Every structure is written in structure tokens, then in C-alpha cells.
Amino acid sequence: MDSEQLLGVADQILGWANDDEQVEVVVVHGRDSEVRAYGGEIESLTTAESQGVGIRVIKDSRQGFAYAGTLDPDVLGETLRDARDNATFGTPDEFLALTEPDGVEIPKLDLVDPEVTTFPTERKIEMAIELEKMVLAGDPRVVGVEVAEYADAYNTGAVVSTTGIRSVGSETSSYVVAYSLTSDGEDTQAGFGYSVGKGPGAIDLDKAAADAVDRGTRLLGATKPKTEKLTIVFDPYVTAQFLSIIAGTLTGDVVLKGRSLFADRMGETVGSPLITLVDDATNPEAFSATEADGEGLATRRTGLIEAGVLQSFLHNSYTARKAKAVSTGSAVRGYSSTPSVGAMALALTPGTKSQAELIADIPNGLLVQGVSGLHSGVNAISGDFSTGAEGLMIRNGELAEPVREFTIASTLQRMLLDVVAVGGDVEHLPMSAAGLSLVVSDVTMSGA
């Protein structure tokens, strides 16, 4: 379905709104395809079309919501009735209201690569099979490829409300990802590599294959390190995950509900002077760039931390109203939920050094290549940070032996303050934060 058809569906629902209620409709449509190769053959070929509608009703300062994974005409009316009925059970809240257009012009970003719609299936299959071949040929220690995949998507979404919001936009994406299996005869390891872009033309198979090979082989023979405190370097991919956790403590929602470490710290120093963190979904380079937020307001650049000083929280229209602030265009949602608040495209202001140069400055440290259990060992409310990790020791400024089966731990508060260097190696990743190498001192490595 194109933008006009989606707006048509949304308008039809708005037409059923009563005078005494506010109604907001989110309608989405997506087409995606995925090809997986295994053993030189197609393992699976998936083509799919998905659609959905979410309806929010606010009446007498109460909110109700309902969604459906279909745009069948008979379901639309039922979904509106459900949302309306649900609203009668909400607690009245004077700050509940749909947003009106706020005068910030919606940026025009070029987020669609039309080739996504015309790229032939045969080429997708070739890319997946070729990627598998390249990983296998990359190093004699590669003994298998668990996954070699090409995927792309074309998504269109519209937000329309009785308060004058009318936004619609489309985005495309393509990616390849490979997981290598490596062995030195005794030890077995795995490593991933990927390449992402707006369309198939941006895909770099060589990079994806080389990363999968390198990540898998360099951990071979890894042993468990001894427990000590040391300086760590986060690989860009790990830094991006860390930034997403930090941003989760800076949303209006957790601040207003007393769940943020930084609720009372506005204007204070919360990080090293090297930390300048922005959220900017208007940067077309970002994988998660988008023109409008989940309430149909323009996305915009928000400086969260500047030179270590806390500058702003993120807000959607509800948290902004309640906090007597303005929306930062940070409403995030799918069609199956009401708008929450979240970062869309985080980025640290980069330094100038490459990862190798950063490592050269470290006499004794650790390069963290990957982490696991971020969801089970990090508590963004208390600030406790503990995660499984794997990587390479740093000895006298050079990468040394690989290590695994250990954890790294600190607190979120301390880690922000303990940042001692920021790399210049910005990498746009398939997530809501850009990555770069980040050096943090005084982290506990728990091993043997």
C-alpha cells in the first residue's frame, strides 16, 4: 500500500470519531524479504507483507488503546470501539491529550532506495550464497557458516489525529549478516559480520565476510582471564549498546516516575568532559533516521549531555506537558503500542584516534569485542552494570591473547565519569545508536 492508501484508511477511522473525543490513528504497511543460504543452497526464502493499525482514544482525560494486525474494513471499526471502551477504565489524568502540530517543520530526508522494490530475488539469493562462500574462503580455520543472510524491507507508516496531526513517511533498508563457525582443532568459536544500508547497492559483502571471519578466528584459543580492575576499550558495536542503556535513563518517562539515576542532575556533571551525546534522527546517515516520531511530530536534534554536563531529557508530548517542557520529537512506538519515550539515533561526538591508536596508549587493558546478558545483568534504575564478555587483552599498547568466560562490571554512573578517550572511528550500525571505540577506566573484570 502506498502513502495515500494508508492515509485513506486513517482518515476513514478519524471520520468515525465523536465530537467529545480525541482520536489518533497509526497505520503501517511493510513488505520484506529474507534469503538464507546454507551449504551453497537456499536454506529459506521468505517474502511477506504485513500491516497494522493502532488507535488511541482520549476522552474526559482518560486514555484507551487497541490495535489489530490487519487493515480489514470489518476490523477497523471494532478496534476503534475497543479503544473507546478501554478509555473508560483509565484513571483521569489532566496531562493526557493528543499533541497538536508544534510548528517544527518535518525534515525531508531521503530514506527510500527504490531499488529495494526492483531488486530481483535471484540477485538476493546470489548475494546470500556468495557471502557464505566468502566467509568459508576467508580463513582455513573457518569450518562452517551458521547463518548467511540477505534481507530487505520497505516500510510505510502514517500518523493522523483529530488534533491536526498528519504525517506519513517511508523507509527502506537492506542488510546482509553472516555468522562464522571457526575451529583450531581444539577450540570452537563464532563471529558475526554484517553490512547495512538503505538499499542493496550500499551492501558491502567484503566487509561483512571479513568481519565474520576476523571476529570468529581471533577468539580461538581464548582462555579465562584472572580477576582484576583495568581499562577497557569497547568495540563500536558494544559502545552503541552501552549508549542505548544510558539514553534509557534520560527519558521523560523514567524521570517523571522516579526511575532515573539522573532525575535531579540537570545542569550537573554526570560524565567525563569527553562525553557529548546527542540524539538526532534527522541525520540521514543513521540507520534509524526518520522524519517524524510516533506522534507525527518532526524529529529533531537533542543534545543530552554536553562535555559531561546533563543538558536535556527526551520527551514525547505527554511527558513534555507534565514536565513543563517541550516535546523533543522522541515518541517511539509500533502500531501495537501507545507512544513511549526513547532515543532514535544516538551519537557521541567522536574523537580523532583510531582504535589502534587508542589501544597504543593502554599499557594493560582489554578490548571488549562482544557482551552478553545486558538484559539480565544491567539494572538501569540502580545503575548496576555487569555483563558477560569476550575479547582480547591489551599488553603494552598492543592486542594480545584472546579471553572469554568472564564478566565486566561497574555502575552506569561511574562508567560515564570514567571515560578516558573517545575514538574517531564512527560506525553506523543496525541499531538506534552509532558506534565508536570508547575507553573506560577502572572496570572490574571477573574471571578466574
Partner 1 sequence: MSEVGKPGRQLTSGTNVPEGQNRVALNETEPVFAQYGEKMIEQDLVELTLSHALEHGGDFAEVFAEDKTSSSAVFDDGKVEELTSGRSRGVGVRVVVGETTGFAHTADLSETGLLAAAEAAGAAARGGGGGVRTVALNPTTAPRPNEVLVQPNDVPKGTKVGLLERAEAAGRGAGSEITQVMARYGDSRRRILVANSDGIFTGDDQVKTMFSVSCVATGDTGMQTGRESVGHTIGFELFDAHDVEAIARRAATRALTKLAAVPAPSGEMTVVIGKGGGGVLFHEACGHGLEADAIKKQASVFAGQMGNKVASDMVTLIDNGTMSEEWGCYAVDDEGHAAQSNTLIENGVLTDYMWDLLRAKADGRESSGNGRRQSYQCLPMVRMTNTYVTNGEDEPEDIIASTKNGIYVAQLGGGQVNTVSGDFVFGMTEAYLIEDGKITAPIREGNLIGNGPEVLTRIDALGNDFAMGSPGMCGKDGQGVPVGDGTPTLRVTSLTVGGAAA
For 211-236, the DSSP string reads HHHHHHHTTTT-BPPPPEEEEEEE-H
Can residue 123 be called a binding residue for partner 1 (CB under 8 A)?
no
Q: Which stretch binds partner 1 (CB under 8 A): 162-170, 360-368, 404-412, 433-441?
A: 404-412
Closer to partner 1 by Cβ: residue 101 or 414: 414
**Nearest CA among 127, 137, 155 for reference residue 52:** 155
Please tell me the distance from the alpha carbon of residue 331 to that of residue 55, in angstroms, as a whole number: 15
Question: Cα separations (Å) of 207 from 102, 202, 399?
Answer: 42, 11, 21
**Nearest CA among 50, 284, 7 for reference residue 159:** 7
* Residues between 102 and 121 that touch partner 1 (CB under 8 A): 121
* Residues between 40 and 59 that touch partner 1 (CB under 8 A): 41-52
- The phi, psi pair for 76, rounded to 5°, reads -60, -45
- Work out how close the CB of 361 gets to partner 1 at its nearest, in angstroms, rounded to a whole number: 23
Place of cell 486513517: 10
- Work out how close the CB of 104 gets to partner 1 at its nearest, in angstroms, rounded to a whole number: 22
The answer to whether residues 49 and 18 touch, using CB atoms and an 8 Å cutoff, is: no
**Nearest CA among 385, 292, 271 for reference residue 344:** 292
Q: Which residues are registered as beta bridge partners of 347?
A: 278
Task: Using CB under 8 A, count the residues that bind partner 1.
Answer: 104
* Residues between 241 and 280 that touch partner 1 (CB under 8 A): 256-259, 261
x-or-dash pattern for partner 1, window 274-313, by CB under 8 A? Answer: -------------xx-------------------------
The answer to whether residues 400 and 393 touch, using CB atoms and an 8 Å cutoff, is: yes
CB neighbour list of residue 338: distance below 8 Å, 6 or more residues apart? 54, 56, 63, 65
Q: Which stretch binds partner 1 (CB under 8 A): 131-139, 323-331, 371-379, 393-401?
A: 371-379
CB neighbour list of residue 158: distance below 8 Å, 6 or more residues apart? 3, 6, 7, 10, 25, 26, 27, 28, 167, 168, 169
Packed helices 73-87 and 3-14: angle between N→C axes, nearest 10 degrees? 50
Residue 265 DSSP one-character state: -
- Work out how close the CB of 305 gets to partner 1 at its nearest, in angstroms, rounded to a whole number: 20
Among 231, 387, 437, 441, binds partner 1 (CB under 8 A): 387
Can residue 227 be called a binding residue for partner 1 (CB under 8 A)?
yes
- Work out how close the CB of 199 gets to partner 1 at its nearest, in angstroms, rounded to a whole number: 13
- Work out how close the CB of 352 gets to partner 1 at its nearest, in angstroms, rounded to a whole number: 29
Can residue 82 be called a binding residue for partner 1 (CB under 8 A)?
yes
Q: Which residues are registered as beta bridge partners of 112?
A: none
x-or-dash pattern for partner 1, window 22-41, by CB under 8 A? Answer: ----------x-x---xx-x
* Residues between 145 and 204 that touch partner 1 (CB under 8 A): 146-147, 149, 151-153, 155, 171, 173, 175, 177, 179, 181, 187-190, 192, 194, 196
Closer to partner 1 by Cβ: residue 134 or 378: 378
Can residue 79 be called a binding residue for partner 1 (CB under 8 A)?
yes
Among 9, 23, 346, 431, binds partner 1 (CB under 8 A): 431
* Residues between 406 and 425 that touch partner 1 (CB under 8 A): 406-411
Residue 69 cell numbers, joined: 494486525
